[in-house]
Every structure is written in structure tokens, then in C-alpha cells.
Amino acid sequence: MSDVTVQFFASLREDLGKDRMTIPLDHSLSVSDLVIKICAAGDTAWQSALDSPDILVAVNQTLVERAHEVQPGDEVAFLPPVTGG
């Protein structure tokens, strides 16, 4: 078994109250299924924050779709939309 490192950036870090966490993982699972595991460790605010279609997901520093398979040992980052002017 190996851990997946999960990182939250910018407003997500503020909304969720943490910048990173580790999830034990012994088999691959989709990003969507990983979100379910992550939300089990948080509260209802986590589900709405991480399920937003505006949130980008990167696995090992490459943007991926929610169906992408996360492997034990991967690094997963959740990135809110960037705004500015």
C-alpha cells in the first residue's frame, strides 16, 4: 500500500482549511472516486467545493479528466479557476 498526496491550492486551501493530505491507496481509482474518499474525511462543504466543474485536477503535474486513474504513489492537485485582470 502506498499513499496518494493530495494538494489544495488558492481558494480551495482556504475553503477546506488545509493545503494537503495523504490518502492510503492500494489500487488505482478514478479521480472522481478519489474525491469521494477525500470528502469522507471532511464535511459537506468539501463535496461541493471539489465537485465543482470549474475545479481543475492535475495528477503528477499534468491536467487530467475526472475519469483518469490515480495510482498509489501519485500526487494529485486540485486547482480552482484563476481570475485576474
Does residue 84 surpass a pLDDT of 70?
no
- Domain extent for 10: 2-79
Residue 85 has pLDDT above 60, yes or no: no
Alpha-carbon span 41 to 9, nearest angstrom: 18
Summarised one tens digit per residue, pLDDT across range 19-59 is 999 999 999 999 999 999 998 877 778 888 898 889 999 99
Task: Please indicate, yes or no, if residue 66 is contained in any of the structural domains.
Answer: yes
Within a domain: residue 75? yes
What's the domain count of the chain? 1
- The CATH number of whichever domain residue 47 belongs to comes to 3.10.20.30
